[in-house]
Amino acid sequence: MTKGARQPFRTAVLILVWGWLLMLVLAPNLLVVGTSVLSRDPAEFIRLPFTLDNYIRLMDPLYLDVFLHSLYMAAVTTICCLIIGYPFAWALSRVSKRRQTLLVFLLIVPFWTNSLVRTYALKLLLATNGLINNALLAIGVIDEPLTLLYTELAVIIGLVYLLLPFMILPLYSVFDDLRDELLLASHDLGAGRWSTFVHVVVPLTLPGVLAGVLLVLLPAMGMFYVADVLGGSRNLLVGNVIKNQFLDARDWPFGAAASVLLTVAMAVLLFAHRLSRRRLGEEGG
């Protein structure tokens, strides 16, 4: 169709939208990929020749340790969110509809409020003379304060605290769609509770689980301020490494390579999510 020429409004809108996304999303991301295969330059940030050295350096034991530690903390965070969030989402979907509106609202609040401020609020609880230690000392459970702040545990607590709603919301949406009739049918066909859970509930909620994992695992590797505020200098996330390379060490190609790694991880998770939904769609009809 040649409508474009006769519709100046349509043309203008499309140019604006495409222009913005190409300039500020596509081009910058290509730049990062490009940077990741260039060499470091102390003055101009980057220079030729092309090299894969940055990716090889990611495997350097020094950084590999940091990455694996970060991945470990992110994985533990994700598992904790899943263990807390799965039964939570199920229970939430079984509450009366009127209460659900309020309860879901209470889950969205964290999304709208400053996560740095909430990370800092955790500090008030976890500090050596913070509320948790004071409370435990007061009731005599412990004799001297526990070291909670600036530990791996503090980082994981912080990440779980910030990211739990992002696990719960997609899970809630799949549980909300789960029809009671299906569970009854499974029961009528002779399946026990466990069997119903494994063969009916788990497959039907799998897309929600994967969406939740996607929304928790990647941010858990990138949220550098959580590690900064709660973790001290030894519990770094991939985000801290990228930030240090870009803002302090000025080794852009290496930081860019680490960022490409995160993007690839995201792509893999997105693909798994799509696959699970498609499989479900085929089985369902």
Partner 1 sequence: MERVIARWLPRTYLTLVYVLLYLPILVLVVFSFNASRTGYQWDGLSLHWYESLFNNRAMVKAMWNSLWLALVAATVSTVIGALTALALHRYRFRGKRMLNGMLFVVMMSPEIVLAISLLALFLLIGMQLGFMSLLLAHVTFCLPFVVITVMARLSGFDERLPEAARDLGASDFTMTRTVLIPVIMPALMAGWLLGFTLSLDDVVVSTFVSGPSYEILPLRIYSMVRVGLKPEVNALGTLLLVFSLVMLMLSQWILMRSKR
Footprint of partner 1 on 65-84 (CB under 8 A): 84
Q: How many residues sit close enough to partner 1 to count as binding (CB under 8 A)?
A: 82
Which position has the token pair 């788990």?
Answer: 202
Choice between 92 and 204, CB closer to partner 1:
92
Cα 101 from Cα 106, distance rounded (Å): 9
Is 233 a binding residue for partner 1 by CB under 8 A? The answer is no
Structural contact between residues 127 and 179, judged by C-beta atoms closer than 8 angstroms: no
Is 7 a binding residue for partner 1 by CB under 8 A? The answer is yes
Residues between 187 and 226 that touch partner 1 (CB under 8 A): 214-215, 218-219, 221-225
Choice between 61 and 173, CB closer to partner 1:
173
Query: Where do runs of H (alpha helix) occur along the chain?
Result: 3-6, 8-21, 27-36, 53-57, 61-93, 97-112, 115-126, 131-138, 152-177, 180-188, 193-196, 202-222, 224-230, 238-243, 252-284
Residue count (the chain)? 285
Smallest gap from residue 268 Cβ to partner 1 (A): 12
Residue 37, helix vs strand vs coil: coil
Is 159 a binding residue for partner 1 by CB under 8 A? The answer is no
Alpha carbon distance, N-terminus to C-terminus of the chain: 36
Structural contact between residues 240 and 191, judged by C-beta atoms closer than 8 angstroms: no
Residue of 54, 70, 205, 259 interacting with partner 1 (CB under 8 A): 259
Smallest gap from residue 195 Cβ to partner 1 (A): 19
Residue of 156, 209, 210, 242 interacting with partner 1 (CB under 8 A): 242
Choice between 204 and 273, CB closer to partner 1:
273
Is 156 a binding residue for partner 1 by CB under 8 A? The answer is no
